[in-house]
Amino acid sequence: MPEDGQISPFPSPGGFLSRARTVAPPTWSRWLVPPAALSVHLSIGQAYAWSVFKSPLESSLHLSGTASALPFQLGIVMLGLSAAFGGPMVERRGPRWAMFVSMICFSAGFLLSALGVATGQYWLVVVGYGFVGGIGLGIGYISPVSTLMKWFPDRPGMATGIAIMGFGGGALIASPWSTQMLDAFGTGTGGIATTFLVHGVVYAIFMSLGVFLVRVPPAGWLPRGWTPAKAATRALITTANVSARNAIRTPQFWCLWIVLCFNVTAGIGILEKASPMIQDFFENTAAPVSAGAAAGFVALLSLANMAGRLVWSSISDLIGRKNMYRVYLGVGALLYLTIALAGDSRNFVFILCAVGILSFYGGGFSTAPAYLRDLFGTYQVGAIHGRLLTAWSLAGVLGPLIVNAIADSQAEAGKTGPALYTTSLYIMIALLVVGFVANELIRPVHPRFHEPRVAEQGRQDAVITGPGGS
């Protein structure tokens, strides 16, 4: 079975894309792997800048707001599904194959979208960007995770933090770049099609760095002066390995699933509604927040989200993953409580707390792979991570749903200002407390789920040197 790392029923790709061809030579520096990962994550992070295309598509193809959001929504659904179901294949075929598939799908998504807009066939945009491109998002998101942790067993949090920071940074690049391109080519169908075409070509070139540069360490490779036994001094860090199939049978996986789901729900609730939220909050004060200042607030949250992915995940290497999530969930709940209690009395309190919450939101994403590696080993951590990301799919619906539905009902009841959001804030606190308890319940994985060491090493060697290699 693929999940157990046995010989695949599918032939491994041969030649340049094969896992065997990606084994690093002895002189290869592991610091070449993070830019390979970043080239993929900075590209696929473009998904969060889809809103740039919404208004031009709506006016040129006469679409509703709901219709223009479809490519993005389908893309996020496909991200979750392809990460969850494609994980074992990514583990088996290696990071170069995965990055290549991601590059082809993500780029083809833009090219199909260009064709769709040019011919007035919007369904082609939905299928192209959402379905085909979405597969590129999911495969690309998990493609470097296990490779990075094999290269950086001494600093797994920092390594995955760098890559997953790229996913946050991708929108920072794409948003102004896409806007400038639409300004240059125009916002009619011809301009949008040309913009999509250029995106497809440029992202293919940019992601190719990852395809060419990524390498897996040779079997048995370790950083100089580092031993697994030295790292396994914390209770939760294992030197054993658990397969993806067995991982989802453990309570640890589902506790971590709840932790990630509720941490993301709490963050995305603010992120998705940041601009109207800060304006509503202070509309009845002597210093209301303008639309321009609200855009600055959104930018600040993006920066906090991106920085949190690198900083908090790196700190987790020092203080341990469980303690780090105690901070995300416990301090996150206190920050929400502070916003609820402070109301509209001080805008800097609101801003500082939101920045903290969004940095924890980003940190929660980037620390998760290292937490999985601590619990389940590096054997199939990419595939396990893919399955954990289904928590993101649910949170992506749950967070905005809670905040928007409550704000709408409060507005209908005639309420204004902080009262629109107070109930949502207390719900978020409750979710974070549940996540905190779930984190406390995480214990080392029972040895009955561990892979037999001899068989496991044999299977890994078979994958590395097996058929399909050059």
Partner 1 sequence: MMTEPARTGLSAPLMIVAWAWVALPLAYGVYELLLKLAQLFGG
Q: Which residues bind partner 1 (CB under 8 A)?
A: 26-32, 35-36, 38-39, 42, 166, 169, 172-177, 206, 209, 213, 218-225, 290, 292-293, 295-300, 302-303, 351
CB of 177 to partner 1, least distance (A): 8
CB of 241 to partner 1, least distance (A): 16
Amino acid at 66: T
Which C-beta is closer to partner 1: that of 222 or that of 462? 222
CB of 370 to partner 1, least distance (A): 20
CA-to-CA distance for 405 and 382, rounded, in angstroms?
A: 35
CA-to-CA distance for 140 and 104, rounded, in angstroms?
A: 10
Which C-beta is closer to partner 1: that of 129 or that of 297? 297
Which C-beta is closer to partner 1: that of 163 or that of 431? 163
CB of 51 to partner 1, least distance (A): 14
Which C-beta is closer to partner 1: that of 209 or that of 258? 209
CB of 425 to partner 1, least distance (A): 21
At 236, list the tokens. Answer: 């939760």
Angle at 109 between CA 85 and CA 12, to 5 degrees: 45
Amino acid at 49: A
Q: Which residues of 214-240 are buried (b: 16+ CB within 10 A; e: fewer)?
A: bbbbeeeeeeeeeeeeeeeeeebbbeb
Residue 469: closest CA among 25, 7, 19 = 19
Which C-beta is closer to partner 1: that of 75 or that of 168? 168
Kindly calculate the radius of gyration of the chain based on its CA atoms and give it in whole angstroms: 22
CB of 312 to partner 1, least distance (A): 18
Which C-beta is closer to partner 1: that of 14 or that of 223? 223
CA-to-CA distance for 162 and 321, rounded, in angstroms?
A: 16
Task: Tell how far CA 431 is from the center of its chain.
Answer: 20
In angstroms, the Cα distances linking 138 to 64, 79, 149, 168, 305 are: 27, 4, 18, 15, 20
DSSP H stretches of helix in 272-346 = 274-281, 291-319, 321-326, 332-342
Which C-beta is closer to partner 1: that of 347 or that of 439? 347
Which C-beta is closer to partner 1: that of 43 or that of 439? 43
Q: Give just the sign of the alpha carbon dihedral 16, 19, 25, 27.
A: positive
Which C-beta is closer to partner 1: that of 294 or that of 463? 294
CB of 351 to partner 1, least distance (A): 8
Q: In this structure, what is the dihedral angle of CA atoms 355, 359, 362, 364, given to the nearest 10 degrees?
A: -130
Which C-beta is closer to partner 1: that of 162 or that of 429? 162
User: How many of the other CB atoms lie within 10 Å of CB of 24?
Assistant: 17
At 209, list the tokens. Answer: 């760095």
Burial of 438 per CB tally in 10 Å (0-12, 13-18, 19+)? buried
Q: Give just the sign of the alpha carbon dihedral 451, 454, 460, 466.
A: negative
CB of 257 to partner 1, least distance (A): 31
CB of 338 to partner 1, least distance (A): 19
CB of 297 to partner 1, least distance (A): 5
Element (H, E) at 417: none
CA-to-CA distance for 210 and 250, rounded, in angstroms?
A: 34
